[in-house]
Amino acid sequence: MTTTEVKQNIPKGWQEKQIKDLLNYERPDKYIVESDRYINQGTPVLTANKSFILGYTDEKGGVYKDVPVIIFDDFTTDSKFVDFPFKVKSSAIKILKEKNSDTDLRFVYEKMKSVDFPTGSHKRYYISQYQNMEVVVPPLPEQKKIAAILNTVDEEIQKTDKIIAATEKLKRGLMADIFKTKKGWKRVTVNELGKVVTGNTPKTARKENYGNDYVWVSPRDIFGQKYISESTKMLSTEGFAQTRKLPAGSILVVCIGSTIGKVGIAAKELSTNQQINSIVVNKENNNEFIYYTLLFNKARILEKVSTQAVPIINKNTFSDVSITVPADKDEQQKIAGILSSVDEKVSVNQKLKAKLTLLKKGLMQDLLSGKVRVPTT
């Protein structure tokens, strides 16, 4: 935001400031971890980037304790608000504290997160540019109120994240218990579960007709979700007619590249490219159960991968992968129902997190600009 833009949009009672008017910075030299052989507990070792906590150390010296602070990556301008003792990994980190008693650190952090600061070349930004950035800030009572509102939403997002993590851990435990070989289960090959189909790429797909709801799935479209109903590329009527169409309920398995072994279920009729082998499950088996057992038995698939430059498992080799399944389809269905209910809980909380994230984005736009004012008395 330029000086002119700031002056034109200053809300009543707010003031124009530079970041350096609000924050002091400290170099991290005294707090850099000596060893990157991290352990499972101890003092967190931080980065300002997405990973945040890299691991833990038992080093006693050089622990930063004067929290809260903002840690700032001098190259990427990423930042994190930290309210617990820590060490850092990199000398590129700046440690930021409020400069005056009329500044709320949490408010400034949220203000920083709301600014789109351009980065490109690999250089340090804080001293040369970032600290000179102009922002407008309200009086301290309003800063505190805004920070408290945004922090409340953050706390709800964190709670939801913990529920998602705990539920996914529960699912892993259930799967480990369920898929231990059970009495009455039988060993079968993938080929015995249904018809195995390798995808293909149509010769013609008229770009002007894309978006006709003809889904053509590639490995990039299988990234952890259970049911696949959309893709990054839609086919024309003519293009779809040239593919090997799969009915809804088919199991899709990536069989080439870095994501080999990823599994999904076709939520509707679709087709895939040749990097995916699919199973059109026969009537003797439950397709959701087959999805879960392939998800659990990914290692069995990877055992069959060829050792050439690009990892690959062809149709015939994939068809010969063996797994153990209940002979009784009803038992398969009951197991699938249990795991599906856990997946549903994860999905509900993922949707809640998405709503909360959108809510915070809207609040930041309104509150940090002064478009919506909050009462302070």
pLDDT in tens, the chain (377 residues): 444 445 557 899 999 999 999 999 999 999 999 999 999 999 999 999 989 999 999 999 999 999 999 999 999 999 999 999 999 999 999 999 999 999 999 999 999 999 888 887 788 999 999 999 999 999 999 999 999 999 999 999 999 999 999 999 999 999 999 998 778 899 999 999 999 999 998 875 545 545 567 889 999 999 888 999 888 878 878 888 889 999 999 999 999 988 999 999 999 999 999 999 999 999 999 999 999 999 999 888 888 888 777 889 999 999 999 999 999 999 999 999 999 999 999 999 999 999 999 999 999 999 999 999 998 87
What type of residue is 38?
A: Y
Supply the pLDDT for residue 212.
63
Q: Which CATH superfamily is domain 185-326 in?
A: DNA methylase specificity domains (3.90.220.20)
Q: How far apart are CA 309 and CA 79, in angstroms?
A: 38
Give the SS3 label for residue 320: coil
The HSE-up count of residue 212 (CA atoms within 13 Å, CB side) is 15
Supply the pLDDT for residue 89.
94
The pTM of the full predicted model, rounded to 2 decimals, is 0.82
Could you give the C-alpha distances from 199 to 22, 56, 242, 248, in angstroms and in order? 58, 45, 11, 15
Q: How far apart are CA 55 and CA 94, in angstroms?
A: 19
53-57/43-46 β-pairing: antiparallel
Strand partners, 80: 71
Long-range (24+ apart) CB contacts under 8 A made by 60-68 are 62/30, 62/31, 62/32, 62/33, 62/87, 63/31, 63/87, 64/31, 64/88, 64/95, 66/97, 68/105, 68/106
Query: How does DSSP assign 80-145, residue by residue?
Result: EEE-S-BEES-TTEEEEEESSTT--HHHHHHHHHHS-----SSS--TTTTGGG-EEEE--HHHHHH
Supply the pLDDT for residue 183.
81
Q: What is the distance, to the nearest Å, from the Cα of residue 156 to the centroid of all Cα atoms in its chain?
A: 17
Q: Comparing 3-137 with 185-326, is the CATH topology the same?
A: yes
Q: How far apart are CA 261 and CA 190, in angstroms?
A: 13
Supply the pLDDT for residue 4.
42
Domain boundaries, the chain: 3-137, 185-326
Supply the pLDDT for residue 8.
59
Alpha helix stretches (DSSP H) within the chain: 3-8, 19-22, 105-114, 140-178, 190-193, 237-241, 287-296, 298-303, 315-319, 329-367
Supply the pLDDT for residue 214.
85
The values of phi and psi at residue 15, to 5°, are -130, 150
Count of Cβ atoms closer than 10 Å to residue 91 Cβ: 11
Query: How does DSSP assign 135-173, residue by residue?
Result: EEE--HHHHHHHHHHHHHHHHHHHHHHHHHHHHHHHHHH
Count of Cβ atoms closer than 10 Å to residue 281 Cβ: 21
Indicate the CATH number of 3-137 among 3.90.220.20, 3.30.70.980, 3.30.70.260, 3.40.710.10. 3.90.220.20
Q: What is the largest CA-CA distance in the chain?
A: 76
